[in-house]
Amino acid sequence: MSVEPHPTPTPSAPELVCPAGSLPALKAAIDGGADCVYLGLRDATNARNFAGLNFDENAIQNGIEYAHRRGRKVLLALNTYPQANNPTPWRAALDRANAWGVDAVILADPGLMRYATDRYPQLRLHLSVQGSATNHDAINLYQAQFNIQRAVLPRVLALEQVRQLTQRTSVEIEVFGFGSLCVMVEGRCALSSYATGESPNTHGVCSPAKFVRWKEGPAGVESRLNGVLIDRYGQNENAGYPTLCKGRFDVGEESSYYALEEPTSLNTLELLPQLVRMGVRAFKIEGRQRSPAYVAQVTRVWREAIDHCMAQGHLYAPKTAWMASLDQVAEGQQHTLGAYHRPWK
């Protein structure tokens, strides 16, 4: 049965959704002009479960108060998958989220969505990028079953695919606007699990710190993940945090190159008018593991860019200063349009 496209409404200003790995980062995002911040708890219920990051009960309540007093929203990411033998921490986190008065919960697991809709039917639910929903049928199913109000798209779709999807669902669509790329269909990555036995989808980190080792060798500094050599850095070469997808490997007769993904950041500023016309309702900035200074810098640029886009319409063009500012905090100090731009298509 064919699905009739939804008519494209007059574009309205999209929300700017910014990361908060700490209370100072939350305040930096709000002060910089974010419409929403997203954050997680200090446990495996969220997909950025790094030591020293995230929120305890006191910090999250302070953060919600700070945001709400300024008319902004707080979204709680409970976006990992509960363990079959102990789903209690995820359910308890959802119970607390409802009691705290968060504006939405970002979920990936259908079982947790069912728990939420049964217990708290008034609680707004967003489908996490970890849910791997890349077509309108999947998103509409989540809407029908769990009343999902917004879906975050994985970073694997071309621009035309995003356009077709937004025409065929009434669910709000959120896309990544800036930040680190993920080469996998989010929610299905098994690289870290292969090397360490701990999946980012259940333990919350791509490269758990306890498995990371740095060692000075005759050819330079080596980074390893549970004994697996990820990269080797020469003298004066910047060494990034070791993740398997962004390591350099020997493949066949080729040696030491980024076989899966280069360390670069997604930056979609030049696509803002097209995405807004398609009906995209929110732009997400990646980086809960980054500093408050990063959050402040990126938020300021994106706030100005979105406001400029809505005011200028077809005359919009990204400013050189914006791009330069974002490249300063990008991985490898370079940017890409990622899957949005496929010149061979």
Q: Which residues contact 195 (CB under 8 A, 6 or more apart)?
A: 211, 225, 226, 228, 244
Q: In this structure, which amino acid lies at residue 175?
A: V
242 versus 16: the higher-pLDDT residue is 16
Asked, for residue 197, whether it belongs to a domain, the answer is: no
Of 215, 240, 257, the residue that ends a domain is 257
What pLDDT score does 8 carry? 47
Residue 310 class from Cβ within 10 Å (0-12 exposed, 13-18 middle, 19+ buried)?
middle
Asked, for residue 323, whether it belongs to a domain, the answer is: yes
Instruction: State how many domains the chain has.
Output: 2
Do 143 and 236 belong to one domain?
A: no
Of 238, 257, 276, the residue that ends a domain is 257
What pLDDT score does 4 carry? 54
Asked, for residue 186, whether it belongs to a domain, the answer is: no
Neighbours of 256 (CB within 10 A): 12
Q: What is the pLDDT of residues 177-211, one digit of tens each?
A: 999 887 666 777 788 888 888 877 887 778 888 88
Of 118, 36, 24, nearest to 77 by C-alpha is: 36
Do 174 and 230 belong to one domain?
A: no
Has residue 286 got a pLDDT over 60? yes
Q: Which residues contact 126 (CB under 8 A, 6 or more apart)?
A: 75, 104, 105, 106, 107, 148, 149, 150, 151, 152, 174
**N- to C-terminal Cα separation, the chain:** 27
Asked, for residue 196, whether it belongs to a domain, the answer is: no
Domain, as residue range, for 135: 15-181+264-340
Do 33 and 139 belong to one domain?
A: yes
Q: What is the pLDDT of residues 115-163, one digit of tens each?
A: 999 999 999 999 999 999 999 999 999 999 999 999 999 988 999 999 9
Asked, for residue 276, whether it belongs to a domain, the answer is: yes
Q: Which pTM value belongs to this model?
A: 0.89
CATH number at residue 56: 3.20.20.70
Asked, for residue 189, whether it belongs to a domain, the answer is: no
Q: In this structure, which amino acid lies at residue 182?
A: C
- What average pLDDT does the chain have? 90
